[in-house]
Structures are given as structure tokens and as C-alpha cells.
Structure 1
Amino acid sequence: MTIRTHASHAPRIAVAGLSARLVAQSATRAGLDVVALDVFGDRDTREHAHLWFDIAGDGLSIDRARLYDALEQAAHLPRMLGLVVTSGLEPLTDELARAPRVPRFIGNGGEAAAVRNPRRFFALLDDAGIAHPEVRFTPPVERQGWLVKCPDGCGGTHIEQAEHVDETAPGAYFQRLSPGRSMSALFVAARRETVVIGFAEQLSIPMGHLPFVHAGSIGPIDVMPTTAIRIVEAIETIVRKTNLTGLNSIDFLLDDDTFRVLEINARPSSTMALYEAARPDAWPRGLIGAHLDACLHGELPRARCAQSTMLPMRAGQRVIFAPFTFTVSHALSDACFSDPACHDVPLAGTRIEAGMPVCTVSAIAPTLARLHVELEREHARILRSIQMD
């Protein structure tokens, strides 16, 4: 446990997941005192958190015993509003929502079972006439052109090409590869109503046997008005049928004016950083403020603040992966920490294996073309620093 001393008397929230940085940063904007629980303990996570707990398991995993021990300690802190989860805790979400001696769960617990269970979710889409790629729950005869997905995964590490998989994990399902750009929409839900914040494009890279490892996102992205209306209607239908609450995101493929739904992430998404960066005046309390309002009070943000597709600026974030195994030096850690475009900054002495995430770079620009240039420049600069370190 790491403690950062300050004299705040603000309400507290606990933020838990593989990485707590993004939500902790948003919560700080909302005037909240953050208790962070994650596996990295990055410098900027600790900068935005009054307390940080190490919940790392083997590799990039969460240790269940450490998690519960930390949450029980957090529950005894004064002014604790509750727990917000990020990616990596999908298998434990329903359990955490019902668990005693931990902070109140702020988000989707058992209510999200209909979107977390592939059999129920795709049946729901079929019933509502919402398009999605073909799905099977038994192996196809010819596996080429199919993916295997685990419903409790995140970051693309739960997706494999079916022809390379001999045995599937319990609950896994097969989904046919389909054309289109990988997109998402961030939305806030409350009392079976929803406000869509905006659309973003998801970036991915192949890594070993994993074809779609999450590598960042850019947005807001303009979508043709008629298509955007149909996507929003699909989200509204899903929310009415599932009673989702707070911040959520929907992943889909966009092929010209055709969209196919892939999945729902029933928790705050990393794309929230795009909208906060592109127009911070629209979210003076951060989007976590909107999440808390929806979950605790049933209140949705004003629609005029949520029209992110009309924003004049574009924002992007890109994950930098280690080109080789190395140990982070003091110089590299300090240089990244002092750079406003660099996030998820590792501590000096951290050993990072080849292919693992090192940090995240961000950029803001008036056009998407310029944004790609700025992101590539930041990416290349950090890679050079790693190679010269």
C-alpha cells in the first residue's frame, strides 16, 4: 500500500482494475478523493490517488485475495461513496456487487448479466432485430474465418483465431470475422434511458497468436447522421431491455452505413479520456461525475453536453509496447512523467517484458489527419527514448 499525504476532506471512491489511472484522473477532476487498486502502480495513478493498493497476481492478472483485502480496508475509510471498476474485473463484477465488507458497488452488477452472457446477449440482439456477426456456441466445421472469444476478457487478449485454438475455455464462443472499422460508442444510462456521448475508432495490433490486441483509440469520430441514429436506437433498445446504468460502451463494426454489434462493456471505458480531452469544458466534473450521477441519483447529463460528434477538436491515445525486455531507468521514468502527452508512466526499476505495455501517449488536434501525425510522432519519440535508455 502506498499513501500520498494530503488534507482533502472530499468524498472518496475506490477504483479497481488492471489499471486505475484513467478513472482516477477523471475522478480527481470531479473533486473526489481516490483510492486506487491496480496491478501497475504507475506514477500518474499514484499522483491522482490518496491511497494505492497493489492487487497484482501472476502476469497481467488480479489477485483475488489481495483485491478483497484492499477493498475491506478501503470500506473503513471515511466519506467512502463506493467502488468503480475498470477492465480486468469482469469475472468478479457480480460477486463484488453482492459482497459484504467492501465499498458499495457503483455500476452494473447483476443487472448486466444479459450483456455479459453471450447466449443471452446475442439472443437479445436477434429478438430486437439488431445486426451482429454470426455467432456459434459449438466449433464450426471449417474454423478458418472464425474467431474464438472469451466473454470475461478485455483488451483483445480474449480473442484468438479459431484455427489456432485446439481447446476453448468454458463459456467461450465463436464469432465469424466480418468487414468494417472497429468502432465504439460511449454512453451513460439511467432508469432505462440513455445519452450517447460520442463515437470513437478502436486501434489494434496483432501480437503473437492474438490478432486484435487493444492499442488505443481516436475520437470523436463523425458517423453519417442516418447511421448514427440507428446506432443510438440500438443502444436505447439494449438499455431498455437490460437496465444498464452509468458509463458503458458498445463495440461494433462499421462498414459504410452498415453496423454490426460485437459486445457491450458494462463499465467505464478508456475512450472517456477522448471526450474529456477534446472538450473539457463540457465535462468540468469529468465523465466519472456523470457516472456517479447516473448510478447514485438516476440523473443523465444534459444532451447538449453530450454531442461529442460535433466537437471541433479530436483526441487520440496510443499504447506503446516494449520492443524488447528492459528495466525502466530513473531517467526514462522522469522524462515520461514530466511529459504531458505521456500517461501510465512506470516507476524506475520496473521490469517490462517484450510485448508488454510500457505507457500510453495522447494527442489533441483539430483534424483526424493531424491527430494521426501527432500520435505517430509521440509514439516514435518514446520508442527512441526506450531504445537509447
Structure 2
Amino acid sequence: MLNEIERKSDLEVINKSEAGFILIIASSARMLAQTARASGFKPLVIDLFADLDTQSYAEDFNKITTLAKQYLKPAVDYFIKTYQVTQVVYGSGFENHPESLFYLNSCLSILGNSPDVFIDLHDKPAFFAALNRLAIPYPCVCFSQPDEFVDWLIKPMRAQGGFGIRRYLGEEVDLDSYWQSYQIGQQYSVLFLADGLNLQVIGFNSQWATNLGDGREFMFAGIINSCDLSIEGQSRVVEWLQKLVPLFNLKGLNSLDFIDDGVQSWLLEINPRPSASMQLYEADLFKRHIRASLGELSHEPHSIAGSTGYQVIYAQHDIIIPDEFLWPEGCLDLPESGVICRTGQPICSIMSHKMQAHTVMSALLTQQINLQKRFLIHGI
């Protein structure tokens, strides 16, 4: 927990034109490293991929096997000793490693939600009970095996990006899972900044999933900063946030996922960290994430010219990245030569910016098809 002196000191650091070293940790840290570098920081990166983009943005980097404390601690200790870094921003991947967040909190200033807030939001029984008290609708959930298995999904208590979500067919289920009724509709998210009491909406987004099989039927596939939800529908979601932000003491950049069938919206989850939609907006969100985490929520106007979309490209078969592979323009998160990507694993991602949302979607589809054709010749 930051005291007032530490909070002011951290604000002084980020307000400098050259903000200095900052530690970035995530399962895939490219987005945060890129935005940190663009904001004037010198990112020190720990993640699981160390892709070419991440290496180019990082002042130094360390690739580890998982974000479990036993693997994370030596890497963190190295950066503290070598660079005297004192601040850390975390991204995705800690859902199954909350102990690592508590470790980070013991030796660094976490710029984002505290470990306790992170834990509270992943305590599913308590979270949905809170939604009941606030009269916020969500698809029905069950924490014991239902009598019938029609239209139930199985969801892990702690996961990211749709991993582990699948249709329930009456089978035995891991104890660390719960059931939620399947809801037809368009999935959206809203990206927002918060200071623990107040919030600022950055934008509403549409997102989509893909079926990778083998218990990965609803994997995150892509997102675009375009949303056809009505103004009334968006206002309703903002009202949810006005209740949830102070209740959970949310700080920094967060996102809320929900689904809408054209008549009603249902809340799905809150991601208490910078999410993939962050990169769809040109609004210096990295620095604003830090300021909001430290209690300074600046309502800076930002305009959106056109639409930007982001999509993950998953391997349709085992491939090996050849030497000197020529990546097309718009590709991100590029693996090194010689890396083996197994079926269903992410290879890279793509982005497109156009004036119209439908042309963005068309461009992403074309890029995806062309990439997959090229990958066909590199199967193993």
C-alpha cells in the first residue's frame, strides 16, 4: 500500500519528460512495453514469449516459463539489483498466480490494482453476490453441478482470454470451475480509467471469440473500438461502473466485459488490469493508467478518427518460423526464427486502422487468410 509521500514521489517521477525505468510483467508484455516506451519510460520486461517486438521496445528483458513466484522472483530480483527499479505495471497472466502479485507488492510499488482487489474480483461467488446486491444483471451461475446440462458453460474460476470455457455436456468438472448459462448476443467491452471512486470511460468495443477445440471453445480472437450499442445501453453500463468502481476500489486502467442481445445487457467479468483494447486508442493511456492508480484521474479529451481492430492469429497446425520470414505490414508480437508454434497456440497478432469499422474487419480477415496460406508451407 502506497503512503502519501510515496504516492507524491511516484507522481513526480511520471511527470518528468524522461520517466526512467519501469518494470513491465505480463504473460505477453509487448503492448505494455510499447505504450510505456511511447510515454517516455524505459521498460524492463518480464514475460513468457520475449517476441521480437517486445525485445525492440524493452531496455532489457527476461523470458520466464510461467508467472509463478518461483520463476518470477529471480527475474525481478535481477532487475531491482541491476537497474534499481522501484515501480511495476502488471498485465495479463496473473489470474492463476495471485501469490506473485503479493510478492511484487512486497518489494515494488504496484501501479495498478492492488493484489487484494485482484483477488476480490476473481472470487466468483463473492463477485456475483455483489452484483446481486447492486441489481446488476448477469447470466445465471451455479457453483454446484446442475441437474441438467442444456445451455450451461463450464468456466474456470481464474482464467484469461476465454481459456478453459466450454459447453457443459454432463461430464465431471474440476473443482476450480463453475457453471454459467450460455447467453446469445454480441460480446462487448468497455475500457475505463478509475481512481478508486470515480471513473472515465475511454471507449466501448466489440470483441469476438474463436473455437480452438480441446476445451477452448470461446478463446479471445479479436477486438475493435467500434460498438453499435445504443446510447441508452452504454449509459446503463456506465451506471454499473459507477457502482462497481467504489465498491471494489478499482484503480488504473480496467475493462468490463458484457454481452447484449439487443434488448438487455448482462455483465460477464471485470479485468482489473490493462486489457488488449488499450492499444486501440491513441490517448497516452499508459501514463494515465499510472496517474489514475495514484489517485490522479485527469479527464483529458480524446478523439477517435476511424476504427482500429486487433486480432490474434492462432496456428491451425504445428509450424516452425523459418529464418528471415518476411512478416507483412500490420503484424505484431512476432516470434523469433526457429520458434515452434503448436496447433491452437498464438503465432502473432495483426492490427488494422480504417475510417469505417466494416473495412477494418474486412482487412483483418484478408490479412488472416493470407498469413494462414503462408504458414501452410511451414508445417512440421
1:46 maps to which residue? 55
Task: Indicate yes or no: 2:247 matched with 1:247.
Answer: no
Aligned match for 1:301, one of 298, 301, 314: 298
Letter in 1 for 2:360: L
Task: Indicate yes or no: 2:275 matched with 1:269.
Answer: yes
1:4 maps to which residue? none
The 1:192/1:142 distance shift into structure 2, 3 A limit, reads: same
Aligned match for 1:106, one of 90, 105, 111: 111
Q: Distance in 2 between matches of 1:95 and 1:38?
A: 13
Measured on the aligned residues, the alpha-carbon RMSD in Å equals 1.9
1:3 maps to which residue? none
Q: Distance in 2 between matches of 1:55 and 1:166?
A: 33
1:119 maps to which residue? 125
More deviation in 201-210 or 44-53? 201-210
- Native 8 Å contact 2:117 2:249 kept in 1: yes
Q: Note the alpha carbon deviations across 1:185-233, whole angstroms, 9 max, x for none.
A: 1111103111111111112111113220111111132421111111001
- State the shift of 1:143 in Å: 1.5
Q: Distance in 1 between matches of 2:170 and 2:20?
A: 49
The 1:164/1:95 distance shift into structure 2, 3 A limit, reads: same
Task: Indicate yes or no: 2:66 matched with 1:69.
Answer: no
Q: Distance in 1 between matches of 2:105 and 2:132?
A: 37
- State the shift of 1:139 in Å: 1.0
Aligned match for 2:346, one of 350, 357, 381: 357
Q: TM-score of the superposition, structure 2-length normalised? A: 0.90
Aligned match for 2:207, one of 202, 217, 223: 202
1:291 maps to which residue? 289
Indicate the SS of the match to 2:159: coil
Task: Indicate yes or no: 2:137 matched with 1:131.
Answer: yes
- State the shift of 1:90 in Å: 1.8
Indicate the SS of the match to 2:221: strand
Aligned match for 2:237, one of 227, 231, 238: 231
- State the shift of 1:302 in Å: 1.5
Q: Distance in 2 between matches of 1:16 and 1:78?
A: 15
- State the shift of 1:15 in Å: 1.3
Indicate the SS of the match to 1:26: helix
The unaligned stretches of length 5 or more in structure 1 are: 1-7
Task: Indicate yes or no: 2:95 matched with 1:90.
Answer: yes
Q: Distance in 2 between matches of 1:21 and 1:368?
A: 24
Letter in 1 for 2:31: L
Indicate the SS of the match to 1:163: coil
The 1:51/1:266 distance shift into structure 2, 3 A limit, reads: same
2:312 maps to which residue? 319
Q: Distance in 2 between matches of 1:63 and 1:287?
A: 27
The 1:98/1:132 distance shift into structure 2, 3 A limit, reads: same
- Native 8 Å contact 1:72 1:101 kept in 2: no
Aligned match for 2:21, one of 12, 19, 32: 12
- Native 8 Å contact 2:151 2:181 kept in 1: yes
- State the shift of 1:304 in Å: 2.6
- Native 8 Å contact 1:33 1:49 kept in 2: yes
- State the shift of 1:315 in Å: 0.7
Task: Indicate yes or no: 2:200 matched with 1:188.
Answer: no
Letter in 2 for 1:235: L
More deviation in 87-96 or 249-258? 87-96
Task: Indicate yes or no: 2:225 matched with 1:219.
Answer: yes
The unaligned stretches of length 5 or more in structure 2 are: 1-16
1:152 maps to which residue? 158
Q: Distance in 2 between matches of 1:325 and 1:102?
A: 40
The 1:31/1:340 distance shift into structure 2, 3 A limit, reads: farther
2:336 maps to which residue? 347
Aligned match for 1:328, one of 316, 321, 327: 321
- Native 8 Å contact 2:80 2:86 kept in 1: no
Task: Indicate yes or no: 2:377 matched with 1:384.
Answer: no
- State the shift of 1:312 in Å: 3.2
Task: Indicate yes or no: 2:27 matched with 1:29.
Answer: no
Q: Distance in 2 between matches of 1:382 and 1:238?
A: 41
- Native 8 Å contact 1:133 1:261 kept in 2: yes
- Native 8 Å contact 1:74 1:102 kept in 2: no
Q: Distance in 2 between matches of 1:45 and 1:25?
A: 7
- Native 8 Å contact 1:10 1:79 kept in 2: no
After TM superposition, the runs of 4+ consecutive aligned structure 1 residues lying more than 6 A away are none
The 1:244/1:304 distance shift into structure 2, 3 A limit, reads: same
Q: Distance in 2 between matches of 1:33 and 1:200?
A: 29
- Native 8 Å contact 1:201 1:219 kept in 2: yes
The 1:98/1:77 distance shift into structure 2, 3 A limit, reads: same
Q: Distance in 1 between matches of 2:188 and 2:116?
A: 26
